[in-house]
Structure 1
Amino acid sequence: MSYQVVMKQIKAGNPLPVMVFYGEERFLMDWSLEQLEIAVIGKENLAFNRIRLDGKTCTEAEIVDQCETFSFFAQKKMVIVDDYEALTTKGKGKLARLEAYAAAPASETILIFLYREGKPDGRKACVKTIKKNGGILEFARIDRKALMGWITKRVQAGKCRITPDAMEALISMTGYLDRNSEWTLYDMENEVNKLLDYGDRKRWITLEEVEAVGIRGLENDVFRMVDAITRNQPKLVFLLVHDLLESGEAVEKILYMIARQFRLLALAKLHLAKGYGPSELAKRMKVQPFVAKRLVAQATPVTQKALDTHLEQCIDADQAIKTGQDRNLTLEMLLAQLVSK
Structure 2
Amino acid sequence: MTADDIIKDLKNRKYKPLYLLHGEEPYFIDQVSNYAEHQLLSEAERGFNQTVLYGKDTDIMVVLNAAKRYPMMAEYQVVLVKEAQDMKWGRDDDDKKSINPLLNYLENPLKSTILIFCYKYGKFDKRKKTYKAIEKNGVIFESAPLYDSKIPSWIEAFVAGKKYRIDPQASAMLAEYLGNDLSKIANEMEKLMLNVPVGQTITLQHVQDNIGISKEYNVFELQSALSRKDPFKVNQIINYFEANPKANPIVLVLGNLNNFFSKVLLYHYAKDKSPQGLARELGVSPYFIKDYELAARNYNYGKSMQIISLLREYDLKSKGVDSNSGNGELMKELMFKILH
Query: What is the CA-CA distance between 1:292 and the residue it aligns to?
Result: 3.5
AA paired with 1:255? L
Are residues 191 and 121 of structure 1, via their aligned partners in 2, closer, same or farther at CA, if it must alter by over 3 Å? same
**Could you tell me which of 158, 171, 183 is aligned with 1:150?**
158
Distance in 1 (CA, whole Å) between partners of 2:241 and 2:121 is 36
* 1:33 match: secondary structure: helix
**Could you tell me which of 132, 135, 150 is aligned with 1:131?**
135
Equivalent residues, number: 313
Quote the residue 1:93 is aligned against. 91
Which structure 2 residues correspond to residues 187-198 of structure 1 after superposition, within 5 A?
A: 187-198=184-195
* 2:57 match: secondary structure: coil
Question: Any idea what the Cα deviations from partners look like across 1:115-139, whole Å, max 9, x if unmatched?
Answer: 2343322222222211223422112
Distance in 2 (CA, whole Å) between partners of 1:138 and 1:278 is 34
Are residues 328 and 33 of structure 1, via their aligned partners in 2, closer, same or farther at CA, if it must alter by over 3 Å? farther
Distance in 1 (CA, whole Å) between partners of 2:2 and 2:16 is 13
Query: What is the CA-CA distance between 1:80 and the residue it aligns to?
Result: 1.2
- Tell me the TM-score normalised to structure 2 length: 0.71
Pair 1:312-2:306 in alignment: yes
Query: What is the CA-CA distance between 1:317 and the residue it aligns to?
Result: 5.5
Distance in 2 (CA, whole Å) between partners of 1:133 and 1:149 is 32
* 2:52 match: secondary structure: strand
* 2:116 match: secondary structure: strand
Question: Any idea what the Cα deviations from partners look like across 1:84-119, whole Å, max 9, x if unmatched?
Answer: 3587xx755347101111111112111111123433
Quote the residue 1:273 is aligned against. none
Question: Any idea what the Cα deviations from partners look like across 1:153-202, whole Å, max 9, x if unmatched?
Answer: 12x1xxxx425xx1x22331122799xx4421x32323323442335556
Distance in 1 (CA, whole Å) between partners of 2:17 and 2:204 is 46
Distance in 2 (CA, whole Å) between partners of 1:266 and 1:86 is 42
Contact 1:53/1:81, CA 8 A, preserved across alignment: yes
Distance in 1 (CA, whole Å) between partners of 2:138 and 2:103 is 15
Listed as ranges, the gaps of 5+ residues in structure 1 are 270-275
Quote the residue 1:175 is aligned against. 175
Are residues 310 and 118 of structure 1, via their aligned partners in 2, closer, same or farther at CA, if it must alter by over 3 Å? closer
AA paired with 2:159? I
Question: Any idea what the Cα deviations from partners look like across 1:248-270, whole Å, max 9, x if unmatched?
Answer: x8x4x75353244356569989x
* 1:121 match: secondary structure: coil
Contact 2:79/2:116, CA 8 A, preserved across alignment: yes
- The CA RMSD over aligned residues, in Å, is 4.4
Quote the residue 1:287 is aligned against. 284
Query: What is the CA-CA distance between 1:13 and the residue it aligns to?
Result: 2.6
AA paired with 1:312? Q
Pair 1:204-2:201 in alignment: yes
Query: What is the CA-CA distance between 1:77 and the residue it aligns to?
Result: 0.6
**Could you tell me which of 153, 160, 165 is aligned with 1:162?**
165
Which structure 2 residues correspond to residues 192-341 of structure 1 after superposition, within 5 A?
A: 192-198=189-195, 200=197, 203-214=200-211, 221-227=218-224, 230=230, 231=233, 232-233=235-236, 234-239=238-243, 243-245=247-249, 251=251, 254-262=253-261, 287-292=284-289, 304=298, 312=306, 315-316=309-310, 318-319=312-313, 325-326=321-322, 329=325, 332-339=328-335
Distance in 1 (CA, whole Å) between partners of 2:280 and 2:14 is 46
Query: What is the CA-CA distance between 1:203 and the residue it aligns to?
Result: 3.4
| Identity, % of aligned positions | 22
Distance in 1 (CA, whole Å) between partners of 2:307 and 2:140 is 48
Distance in 2 (CA, whole Å) between partners of 1:283 and 1:75 is 50
Are residues 321 and 282 of structure 1, via their aligned partners in 2, closer, same or farther at CA, if it must alter by over 3 Å? closer
* 1:110 match: secondary structure: strand
